[in-house]
Chains A and B, each alone.
Chain A
Amino acid sequence: MNESANAVELHGVVKKFGDVIAVNSIDLVIADGEFFSLLGPSGCGKTTILRMIAGFEFPTAGHLAVDGQKMGLTPPDQRPVNTVFQNYALFPHMTVLENVMFGLLMKKVPKDEARETAKKVLDQVRLGALGERKSSQLSGGQQQRVALARALVNKPKVLLLDEPLGALDLKLRQEMQSELKSLHTEVGITFVYVTHDQEEALTMSDRIGVMSEGNLLQVDTPDRIYEHPTKRFVADFIGEINMLAATVADDGTVQLGSEQIKLDGPSPEMGQSFTLAIRPESIDLTGPDQGVELGLNQISGTVTHRTYFGDAYSYDVETGGGVLSVRCDNRPDHQRFNEGDAVKVSWRPDSSSVLKD
């Protein structure tokens, strides 16, 4: 054990399969006790990173450390990590209890002690009564919890989770999300969680790393990732967002089409064009003559389309800066607009983000 070490460190890690670059020179530090998610579409390299941490694949270049120790070619059985596999990979020829005991017995824990420890962890995931069942006799959610217990019983330094909720239906998935989160707090183990589901990543993680085509594009807290994406892909992949072409004029003002707006924080260089991103729910919609708070960006426009979502309305507003999608909560005081109405859109300068491609 190394008290001050980071749980996982990747330095310039590259993984090639033949000519295909699966992971492209990644630097990443995951702190001890963190719930870290790797988020991206399938084939983006997130699972490959997980498999390299577990020891199922080895980096083509760069190096990787777990708990402060360089891993090199250390095989999986000698790494202080455990994995929860995508389809659980429970041993079908063993009972639930035998599955959970497996790691302990491999570490030469005496059988009686292993059984007691395994039972305790099964109780912890509320499966205490099912120890004698075969894994095939369990439901998907129960198998999921056995897979968790089987990994956690070994008290690994890092728990690796490979899309663990992917095979569950929506309701169970939401239940397991909060269960996983509280389990993480309870056991205090570092979680590295791989998912393509933005909601899972946003709700559970301390930090998220967004990946695309082998590159780690942005690493940040969920709110920063959602509200202030730095790359076009990150903005586009997570939720809905307006992306508009903007330029910085030579006098330093920012032009959004024919409109002039303000940005918060450092602007791009003068004379440069860039992409302005803003979430539909960060934009307010008001009547053309209504007053708007000082300091907000405001542009007038016309409603071209309205969609009803039950809990919200979505409007497409044609403005001098382009078409903006605006989302308004369907509250009792919400002023409804119709297609063709003249409106004013407004947003705080710090709600928008400047994207690099």
Chain B
Amino acid sequence: MAALDQSAAQADSRKGRLIATPAALYLLLFFMIPLGVIVTYSFATRTATGRTVLTGWNLSSYDKLFSELVLRIVWRSFWMASVTTILCLLVAYPFAYYLATRAPKVRNILLVLVMIPFWTNGLIRIFAIRFLLGSDGPASQLSENLGFGTFRILFTPAAVVIGMVYSFLTFMVLPLYVAIERMDWKLVEAARDLYAGGTVAFRKVTWPLTRSGVIAGSILVFVPSFGSYVVPEILGGAKTMLLGSYVARQFGAARNFPFGAALSVVLIAVMLIAVVINQRAEANRA
């Protein structure tokens, strides 16, 4: 009997491995191997002509990370990603709250509306924003008609933040929605019953109980914002170079593969740290 159980368990685990094989192969081929290449390149040497030679391993690419220019770009990327994350949170939380407290039918319609922009090409959406924010675009004209005068927002950090908030808002809405939706509303009633006013009940119960959604959403917005490439390329001017564009430039115009690779490795490390922090926080709560 025991032997039969054991062989059944083995068959189960064989079946499990078999099912996972395509995904595993895919990730190995298109994720793990390129990642290995990047890490290897980051220790390689760039010749004077811009070629990369895989001899004479060194850390000079990592040294360059601490140059003033790089630190300035990292700092700019960091605060713009932070502002984007905070704005997304401010916009998404009330909306997710509204969404989660609707009747199921209304909720599903609203969820589809949230997803629709996702089914449109991201590049087109960003160009639409560029048109919207242009100096004689609709936003500026509306402002002029309302008597606030025209404004020039395109090719400024503000335009980049607006574009990133727009691009990544869904990543904030969905985890928040899930967290709020699965919260037990009886707990809010319990807080109200124990003399907490509406605001205090939110602060003491709703907010802490939906914090997992806040953290997950913040990471999902912060990480792509921090390494964002398309949005700042289209909406930001030459003065608002962000990390994503800077990395792309190393592999492109500057032809400095080892340095670009080193930047990428650091970016990946930052993101991994963020994920670990999130998981620690989750584990502590459980």
Tell me if B190 and A106 are in contact (CB < 8 A): no
Within 8 A of B (CB), among A78-117: 78, 81-83, 85-87, 89-93, 102-103, 106-107
Q: How far is the CA of A91 from the CA of B184 in the complex (A)?
A: 10
- Residues in chain B near residue A93, CB distance under 8 A: 208-209, 285
Asked if B196 contacts A89 (CB within 8 A), the reply is no
Is there an interface contact between A85 and B195, defined as CB atoms closer than 8 Å? no
> Which of B187, B197, B208 has a CB less than 8 Å from the CB of A89?
B187
Contact A89 B194 (CB under 8 A): no
Given A89-B190, A93-B209, residue A77 in contact with residue B196 (CB < 8 A): yes
Asked if A340 lies at the interface with its beta carbon under 8 angstroms from chain B, I say: no
CB interface residues, A 35-59, toward B, < 8 Å: 54-56
Q: Is the CB of B197 within 8 A of A77?
A: yes
Among A78, A82, A89, residue most surrounded by chain B Cβ atoms (within 10 Å): A89
B194 touches A102 (CB 8 A): yes
1/0 per residue, CB under 8 A from B, across A52-82: the answer is 0011100000000000000000011110011
Instruction: Judge if B191 is at the interface, Cβ distance under 8 Å.
Output: yes
Interface flag for A150 (CB, 8 Å): yes
Which of A54, A103, A150 is the most central at the interface, judged by chain B CB atoms within 10 Å of its CB?
A: A103
B285 contacts A154, CB within 8 Å?
Answer: no
Say if the beta carbon of B193 comes within 8 Å of chain A: yes
Q: How far is the CA of A75 from the CA of B189 in the complex (A)?
A: 11
From residue A169, how far is it (CB to closest CB) to chain B in Å? 22
Contact B186 A87, beta carbon cutoff 8 Å: yes
Interchain CB contact under 8 A, B186 and A76: no
Question: Is B255 located at the chain interface by the 8 A CB criterion?
Answer: no
Q: Which residue of B lies closest to A76 (CB)?
A: B192
Given contacts A87-B186, A92-B209, is CB(A107)–CB(B193) below 8 Å? no
Decide yes or no whether B90 CB sits under 8 A from chain A.
no
Quick check: B197 and A85 within 8 Å, CB to CB?
Answer: no
Which residue of chain B has its CB nearest to the CB of A83? B193
Quick one: given A91-B205, A106-B200, are A56 and B191 in contact (CB under 8 Å)?
Answer: no
B193 near A54: Cβ-Cβ < 8 Å: yes
Is B208 a contact of A76 with CB atoms below 8 Å?
A: no
Distance, CA A329 to CA B209, complexed state (A): 55
Residue of B187, B190, B192, B285 ringed by the most chain A CB atoms within 10 A: B190
Q: Which of A81, A82, A92 has the largest count of B CB atoms less than 10 A from its CB?
A: A92
On whether the beta carbons of A103 and B184 are closer than 8 Å, the reply is no
Task: Give bound CA distance, A353 to B191, whole Å.
Answer: 46
Shortest distance between the CB of B265 and any CB in chain A (Å): 37
CA distance A139 to B201 in the complex (A): 26
Please determine whether A154 and B195 come into contact, CB atoms closer than 8 angstroms: yes
Whole-angstrom distance between the alpha carbons of A321 and B208 in the complex? 67
B233 to chain A, nearest CB (A): 42
Chain B hits for A83, CB < 8 A:
189-190, 193
The winner among B193, B198, B285 for most chain A CB atoms within 10 A is: B193
Instruction: Decide: B186 and A154 in contact? CB cutoff 8 A.
Output: no
Cα–Cα, bound, A86→B187 (Å): 11
Q: Which residues of B contact A154 (CB under 8 A)?
A: 194-195
B184 and A89 contact, CB distance less than 8 A: yes
Complex Cα spacing A63 to B114, Å: 43
Distance, CA A36 to CA B208, complexed state (A): 36
Interface residue total, chain A, C-beta cutoff 8 A: 25
B209–A106 touching, CB < 8 Å? no
B189 touches A82 (CB 8 A): no
Task: Give a binary string over A135-155; 1 marks a CB under 8 Å from any B CB, 0 the rest.
Answer: 000000000000000110010
Q: A91-B205, A92-B209, A93-B208 are in contact. Are A103 and B187 (CB under 8 A)?
A: no
> Which residue from chain A places its CB closest to the CB of B209 in the assembled complex?
A93
B residues in contact with A75, CB < 8 Å: 192, 197-198
Known contacts A76-B189, A89-B189, A82 near B184 by CB under 8 Å = no
Minimal Cβ-Cβ distance residue in A for B195: A106
Q: How far is the CB of B146 from chain A (nearest CB, A)?
A: 39
B 179-219 binary contact with A (CB < 8 Å = 1; else 0): 00000101101111111111011001100110000000000
- Provide the bound-state CA to CA distance between A85 and B198, in Å: 19
A85 touches B186 (CB 8 A): yes
Give complex CA distance A229, B90 in Å: 59
Point out the residues of chain A lying under 8 angstroms from B204, CB to CB.
Answer: 102
| Chain B residues within 8 Å of A92, by CB | 187, 209
Q: Which residues of A contact B201 (CB under 8 A)?
A: 77
Give which listed residue, B184, B194, B208, B285, contacts A106 with CB less than 8 A. B194
A103 surroundings in chain B (CB, below 8 A): 194-195
Is the pair B187, A91 in contact by a Cβ cutoff of 8 Å? yes
- Closest residue of chain A to B208, judged by CB? A93
Q: How far is the CB of A111 from chain B (nearest CB, A)?
A: 14
Complex CA gap A244/B191 in Å reads 51
Q: CB-CB < 8 A to B198: which residues of A?
A: 75
Q: How far is the CB of A95 from chain B (nearest CB, A)?
A: 13
Q: How far is the CB of A204 from chain B (nearest CB, A)?
A: 22
What residues of chain B lie closer than 8 Å to A77, measured between beta carbons?
192-197, 201
Minimum CB–CB distance from B198 to chain A (whole Å) comes to 8
Q: Which residues of the partner chain A approach B191 to less than 8 Å between Cβ atoms?
A: 91, 102
Let me know if A150 and B194 touch, CB within 8 A: yes
9 nearest CB pairs, A to B: A103-B194, A106-B195, A89-B186, A89-B190, A76-B192, A77-B195, A83-B193, A93-B208, A102-B194
Interface pairs (12), CB distance under 8 Å: A56-B193, A76-B189, A77-B201, A81-B193, A85-B186, A89-B187, A90-B190, A91-B190, A91-B205, A93-B209, A102-B204, A106-B196
Taking A85-B186, A93-B208, A154-B194 as known contacts, 10 extra A-B pairs with beta carbons closer than 8 A to each other, sorted by chain A number, are: A54-B193, A75-B197, A77-B194, A85-B189, A91-B191, A93-B209, A102-B204, A103-B195, A107-B195, A151-B194
